[in-house]
A and B are shown apart, each in its own frame.
Chain A
Amino acid sequence: EDQVTQSPEALRLQEGESSSLNCSYTVSGLRGLFWYRQDPGKGPEFLFTLYSAGEEKEKERLKATLTKKESFLHITAPKPEDSATYLCAVQAEFNNDMRFGAGTRLTVKP
């Protein structure tokens, strides 16, 4: 069965303190790995799709990387507005839906 595990559950950073969020996955043939941002009381907002090991994508202060077993979301010099829950999801080759991790709740203090 496809599984996604995110760590840590919660992360508190000072503004400007860079860090990484981890997403470990097991899937029978990866079709795509996805990162989303979710603000409280709102729906997830798409950030990145990664397709194969070695791939990297960047958007502002965020950079996502992918290996055969895990993905990292690197946050460089975070700001308070980066505070949110970050969700990781995978879609297997022959599936039509995504399986989500429980998320990492990030808080950035000014």
Chain B
Amino acid sequence: DGGITQSPKYLFRKEGQNVTLSCEQNLNHDAMYWYRQDPGQGLRLIYYSQIVNDFQKGDIAEGYSVSREKKESFPLTVTSAQKNPTAFYLCASSSLGGLDYGYTFGSGTRLTVV
């Protein structure tokens, strides 16, 4: 079955530590996105990528980094510069130009600072 796989489902980060969240899709979608979700707030865009080896900052990119070395993969690194990283992180993908089916989302990674 085609879809998006995010791992791990739960992640714990110590102060000063970098962590990487995985996102893999087998939908042959060109575009991929990372969103952050906090209680009572809408999804906020961190980064997005429309093509391999290219990505753009979203509204809240500070303290995060991404790479897009393969079409299928778009990992997100939460760096120690991100002061409030505890949140639910969602990866999504879509075909370029076609909005009929919106975005396809993964099941999310819940990151907690300990």
Contacts and interface: CB of A to CB of B under 8 A. Distances in A.
* Bound together: yes
B41 to A, nearest CB: 6
Interface stretch (B65-73, B74-82, B94-102): B94-102
Contacts, number: 62
Interface string B79-109: 0000000000010100000011111111110
Interface in A91-108: 91, 96-103
Given A44-B105, A46-B103, A96-B56, 20 more contacts: A31-B99, A36-B105, A41-B110, A42-B107, A42-B108, A43-B6, A43-B105, A51-B99, A87-B43, A91-B99, A96-B31, A96-B48, A97-B33, A97-B58, A98-B45, A99-B42, A100-B35, A100-B44, A102-B41, A103-B42
A34 interface: yes
Contacts of B108: 41-43
B7 interface: no
B4 to A, nearest CB: 8
Nearest to A105: B40
Nearest to B88: A41
B63 to A, nearest CB: 19
A97 B45 contact: yes
Nearest to A5: B42
Given A97-B48, A101-B42, A103-B42, A46 B102 contact: yes
B66 to A, nearest CB: 14
23 contacts: A4-B42, A34-B102, A34-B103, A41-B110, A42-B107, A42-B108, A43-B6, A43-B90, A44-B43, A44-B105, A45-B105, A46-B101, A46-B102, A46-B104, A49-B102, A87-B42, A89-B43, A96-B31, A96-B50, A99-B42, A100-B35, A100-B42, A101-B42
